[in-house]
Each structure stands twice: as C-alpha cells, then as structure tokens.
C-alpha cells in the first residue's frame, strides 16, 4: 500500500510539472524523463506482482489425498490421461465405477444380496477408492458398500443423509465407523475437484424424508465430457433442479430410478439434453422397467439408449474431448420385461379382496430374498421398515400369502408396502 501511494504521488508531481510548462535544461529534462520511466517501471512491476498473485490464486490445490473445493477454472484437455466409467451390470440395482489416473470412485454398489460389485473391483485389480457415494439408503444402491469397504481401502464416503431401519443401512454405517473413513452429506451447490474430475452436487438442497427424492444427484465433468448420476430422484426433485437455474446439460445421463416413469420427466430430459442415456435395470424386472414412456421419450429425441439388461456392463471411455462405448452384448432397449408396454407398480392388498397368484409368484422371483414366512427376527430386519420392534409382530402375523399382506402388521401401511416391494428383498416362497 505504501509503495502504491508513493507511485501515485510521483505521478502527480510529474503531471503537475508538465502542466505548468516549466522549461528545464537538458539535464533536468533527462532527469524528468528518467523519473517518468521509473514510475512506469514501478507501475509495471506492481501490475506484474498483482498478476502473479492472481495467477497463483487460480492454481488448483494439490488434492492428491483430499477432496478440494472446485476452483471454477476451465480445464485443459491436453494433459488428461483418459477416464473410464463402468456401469456395472448388477441387476435391478445401481453401481458405477469411475477410473482415471490413479483415482477410483464408486457411485452406488448394487443390491445387498449379491457380490457383483466386489467381484468386479477384484477383477480390475482395484485396491483403493478415493470416494464411495451412496446416492440414497435403499438396499439396491448401498447394498454392497460394507462389503466393498471390507475388501478395499476407502478414503471417504458420501451419503444423502436419509435414514432407514434396515440392517443393510446399519451395516454400512458400522463399516464406515469401524474403518475410520471420512464421511460427508453433500448438498446442492457444493462443488469439489478430485484430481482432473470436477463434481457438482445438484440435489438435494435438504432432506425431505422421501429416500428416492432425496437421492444425491451429481454432475461429473472431465474435460468437455460430463456425466449426470441421478440415483432414484423422482419428479419433485427433477422439477426443483429444472427450476433452480443450475446447469444440468450433460453428455451422458444415468437414467433415474431404473427407467421408471416416476423419473425422466420431459422437462428434466430437455434440460439435461443427453447424447447417451444409460439405464441400470434387471433382465427380468419385476416392475417391468424401463417404462414405455421413458423409452419413447429418449427415442424421440434421438438419444442413444443403453440398458444393462440388454447390453450387460457398459463402459464409457473418454479423453475429455470424445468418448467411446463398449458393451458385453448388443441389442435394442425395449420397454418393460419381454416387450411389455406398461410400467406396472405393486398393488396394495386394499385394492383386491384376496391376493392374486401372480403377486405371490412375483414376490418369490428372487431366490436370494428374505422369506417373510420363515425368516428369523434378525433376518427380517434386513427388510426396509422392519426393525427390532416390528420383526416380532411380523412373526406373530404369519403366515402371509404375499408381501402385500404385511399391511396386517401394525406400523406397515400401504405406502411402505410399495417401497418394501420396490426394494426387492422381501418375498413369500
């Protein structure tokens, strides 16, 4: 500041002398010219110093071992070594692995009753994950996080902040705590940079209690290529993001809620404007995912549509400027299971006088499910909304003809039945 003041005073003196038209001899003229030159040099030096400070403030923080706030500077693609995003085939569930440089990030982990994600990481030789994101605490998204934590080194875990009484959720929290792993619950507006990858959190702004709608929605940007992961965010969350003014435009969209018509509204899809849409869904989806309306919406836009039920594990490779897609299998994505055109939803027992045989068969389609007629109280707690207090009530109310009949248990209402069936864990064998 003192140096700046001196320069300003000197400039005023030179200006005043010039204005008064003082005639000086050649020696004085040379001295004045030298003084003016000194002022110019000092000013240039000061500008150079300020420029140097400004440039240093723009340099990305060395975040080799930590997650850092995003700088906001446009990233050059010249030094990018390449990134792969693996949309792992985990059936009626979600799991995606991002690899670049020596970094690795896992977004969701598949269902609780499988080991596909752990096996996939082992096959690729992944020994360390910088970050695991559990988009929301449903078992088909966080189901294998505890297994992953026990298998590889994990630096940090992000969760939505939503809670559930399921044993799966409790196991995940216990694994995080026992392994002393960093934990965060990011919110809309948060930005981070992990190496060359920039992460923007688009949702939720706060927790509403609707686990699907409270999913962590995040945009990942690598050079000029971006990926939008939506968890199971539904129409209310999508509408909020659309009206928020946030930049949703993304190259590749992981389609929300396994292609259900509860998500992928026209306004949201228009705002994202994806070139590629990828659906993580089972080959025999009990909910007939993906919905016909969703498939039609992407087809009408000319968006290239992929689904794990058709293509198996889908791998997107990018250098930050372009991308390539490789799959295990080929085929065209069609609506529903075996070409069915209706996105059927679980039916409450209140809507029919007696359980239908087709409901019973649908309940028992998963050979690894928890049989509510024979499971122990401890095993029953692996089902959404069945905790320590509710499990004995379930045992007392046996036998059940279908999962729908859990409404006979105090505390399990129709809306909870829908979410229990959507979780895909409870069954009647």
Give residue-wise pLDDT tens across range 304-357.
999 999 999 999 999 999 999 999 899 999 998 433 433 444 333 333 333 333
Q: Which long-range contacts (CB under 8 A, 24 or more apart) does 99-104 make?
A: 99/124, 99/126, 100/195, 100/196, 100/197, 100/222, 101/195, 101/196, 103/130, 103/194, 103/195, 103/197, 104/128, 104/129, 104/130
Question: Facing residues of 307 across strands?
Answer: 279
Residues 211 and 359 in one domain: no
Residues 313 and 276 in one domain: yes
Residues 177 and 256 in one domain: yes
For 328, other C-beta atoms within 10 Å of its C-beta total 11
For 294, other C-beta atoms within 10 Å of its C-beta total 28
Whether the pLDDT of residue 3 is over 70: the answer is no
Average pLDDT over residues 93-106: 97
Residues 75 and 42 in one domain: no
CA distance 343 to 287: 6
Q: What is the pLDDT of residue 410?
A: 85
> Domain limits at 368?
349-427
CA distance 21 to 32: 13
Residues 134 and 240 in one domain: yes
Q: What is the pLDDT of residue 285?
A: 87
Q: Which of 339, 374, 400 is the last residue of a domain?
A: 339
Q: What is the pLDDT of residue 14?
A: 36
CA distance 31 to 35: 6
Whether the pLDDT of residue 62 is over 50: the answer is no
Greater pLDDT, 4 or 12:
12
Greater pLDDT, 375 or 240:
240
Query: Burial of 233 by CB count in 10 Å (0-12 exposed, 13-18 middle, 19+ buried)?
Result: buried
Q: Is residue 18 part of a domain?
A: yes
Task: Say how many Å lie between the first and final Cα of the chain, rounded.
Answer: 80
Q: Is residue 40 part of a domain?
A: yes
Average pLDDT over residues 165-191: 96
Please choose, from the candidates 367, 378, 363, 365, the residue with its C-alpha nearest in 3D space to the C-alpha of residue 426. 363
Residues 287 and 404 in one domain: no
Q: Which of 58, 78, 102 is the last residue of a domain?
A: 58
CA distance 16 to 20: 6
Whether the pLDDT of residue 170 is over 50: the answer is yes
Residues 194 and 325 in one domain: yes
| pLDDT, mean over the chain | 80
pLDDT band at 388 (very low <50, low <70, confident <90, very high): low
For residue 59, give Cα distances in angstroms to 71, 74, 84, 326. 8, 11, 26, 35
Cβ–Cβ < 8 Å for 264, 289: no
Residues 287 and 141 in one domain: yes
Number of folded domains that form the chain: 3
Residues 321 and 412 in one domain: no
Do you find a cis peptide bond into 410, omega within 30 degrees of 0?
A: no
Q: Is residue 344 part of a domain?
A: no
Residues 103 and 176 in one domain: yes
- What digits encode the pLDDT tens for the residues 207-244? 999 999 999 999 999 999 999 999 999 999 999 999 99
Residues 236 and 93 in one domain: yes
Which is it for strands 370-371 and 197-203: parallel, antiparallel or unpaired? unpaired
Highest mean pLDDT, choosing among 3-12, 42-51, 218-227:
218-227
CATH number of 390's domain: 1.10.150.320
Residues 163 and 246 in one domain: yes
């Amino acid at each position: 500041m003192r140096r700046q003041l001196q320069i300003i005073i000197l400039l005023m003196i030179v200006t005043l002398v010039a204005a008064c038209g003082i005639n000086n001899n050649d020696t004085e003229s040379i001295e004045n010219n030298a003084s003016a030159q000194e002022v110019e040099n000092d000013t240039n030096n000061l500008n150079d110093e300020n420029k140097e400070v400004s440039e240093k403030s723009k340099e990305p923080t060395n975040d080799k071992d930590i997650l850092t706030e995003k700088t906001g500077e446009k990233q050059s693609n010249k030094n990018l070594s390449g990134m792969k995003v693996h949309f792992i085939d985990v059936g009626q569930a979600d799991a995606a692995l991002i690899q670049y440089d020596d970094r690795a990030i896992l977004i969701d982990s598949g269902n609780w009753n499988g080991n596909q994600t752990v096996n996939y990481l082992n096959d690729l030789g992944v020994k360390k994950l910088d970050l695991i994101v559990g988009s929301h605490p449903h078992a088909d998204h966080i189901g294998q996080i505890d297994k992953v934590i026990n298998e590889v080194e994990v630096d940090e875990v992000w969760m939505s902040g939503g809670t559930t009484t399921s044993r799966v959720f409790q196991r995940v929290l216990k694994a995080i705590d026992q392994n002393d792993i960093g934990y965060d619950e990011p919110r809309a507006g948060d930005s981070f940079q992990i190496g060359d990858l920039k992460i923007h959190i688009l949702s939720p702004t706060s927790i509403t209690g609707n686990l699907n709608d409270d999913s962590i929605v995040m945009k990942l940007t690598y050079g000029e290529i971006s990926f939008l992961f939506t968890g199971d965010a539904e129409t209310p969350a999508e509408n909020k993001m659309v009206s928020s003014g946030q930049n949703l435009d993304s190259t590749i969209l992981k389609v929300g809620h396994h292609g259900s018509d509860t998500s992928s509204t026209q306004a949201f899809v228009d705002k994202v404007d994806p070139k590629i849409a990828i659906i993580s869904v089972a080959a025999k989806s009990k909910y007939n995912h993906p919905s016909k309306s969703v498939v039609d919406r992407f087809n009408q836009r000319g968006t290239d549509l992929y689904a794990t039920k058709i293509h198996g594990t889908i791998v997107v490779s990018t250098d930050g400027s372009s991308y390539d897609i490789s799959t295990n299998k080929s085929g065209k994505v069609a609506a529903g299971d075996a070409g069915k055109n209706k996105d059927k939803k679980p039916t409450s027992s209140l809507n029919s006088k007696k359980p239908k045989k087709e409901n019973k068969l649908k309940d028992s389609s998963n050979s690894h499910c928890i049989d509510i007629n024979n499971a122990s109280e401890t095993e029953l707690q692996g089902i959404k909304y069945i905790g320590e207090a509710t499990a004995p009530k379930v045992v007392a109310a046996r036998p059940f003809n279908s999962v729908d009949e859990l409404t006979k248990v105090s505390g399990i209402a129709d809306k909870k039945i829908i979410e229990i069936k959507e979780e895909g864990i409870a069954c009647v064998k």
